[in-house]
Chains A and B, each alone.
Chain A
Amino acid sequence: MLTSIRNNKKGILLMALSALSAAFGQMFWKMFHTEGLWALALGLVLYAGGAIAMIVAYKYGSLSVLQPMLCLGYIFAIFISIFILGETMTPFKLAGIIVIIFGVVMVAGGDETPGCGIRARSEAGGEGTL
């Protein structure tokens, strides 16, 4: 499990950065109606930055490990809504966050073979298992 996390580490961190950037981007888009055009522009910059981080991230790990890391955006959005937008934490939200973090750890540690993705296809023997 730790080997999988280690092999995908750079990609996982970039994916988390992408999700964080996108979550803040959406927050600024929500603020656009009250704050004006600067919020829209900043939201766009953050969203685009998040997309670039995501594309770069795919270079550093398996698709099946990295893409689900985007769900961290759900958690970032909850924290933004609570700490910045003043919404309240509920037992369902707290439970959701805990369950998602468990899921993220399981997926991050889900690769069994060292190396991954297109470049590792031949090394992995081309066998996919379910």
Chain B
Amino acid sequence: MNSALLYTMLIGGCVLGAFASYFFKNASSSIDGLKIGALLKERGLWIGAALYLVAAANNIFLLRYMEYSIILPMSSITYIWTMVIANKLLHERVTRRKVIGICAIIAGAVLLARG
């Protein structure tokens, strides 16, 4: 398969995974306490679950064509998208420590993948 398409799918999967987390966060923060019934009625839960499943299926598909040593560190790009989404949509602060931490996690994933 065209490698540009594969990398596009990989990065696209990371974006979907990050948005899934955003919708999960929205759903769980919208309910009082831990009422399962109320959580199940949250639209965000189902949108998040759908996005999560698509991102997982995308990853499983990509594992057929790409090395795990590429996919593992690249999938940690999800954390960058999460920072952007958390900042833009939830107005959370992206501090220097968070940026350093994410860079370290990605570097660690690269090292693990080199194994």
Q: A interface vs B, CB < 8 Å?
A: 1, 51, 54-59, 62-68, 71, 74, 78, 90, 92-93, 95-113, 116-119, 121, 124, 126-130
Q: B interface vs A, CB < 8 Å?
A: 18, 21-22, 24-31, 34, 39, 45, 48, 52, 72, 76, 78-79, 82-83, 85-88, 90-95, 97-115
What are 8 A-B contacts defined by CB distance under 8 Å?
A57-B28, A62-B92, A102-B104, A104-B105, A112-B95, A117-B25, A130-B87, A130-B94
A110 touches B76 (CB 8 A): no
- Of all chain B residues, the one with the shortest Cβ separation from A57 is B28
* Chain B hits for A54, CB < 8 A: 24
B79 touches A117 (CB 8 A): no
* Chain B hits for A126, CB < 8 A: 91
CA of A64 to CA of B72 in the docked complex: distance in angstroms?
20
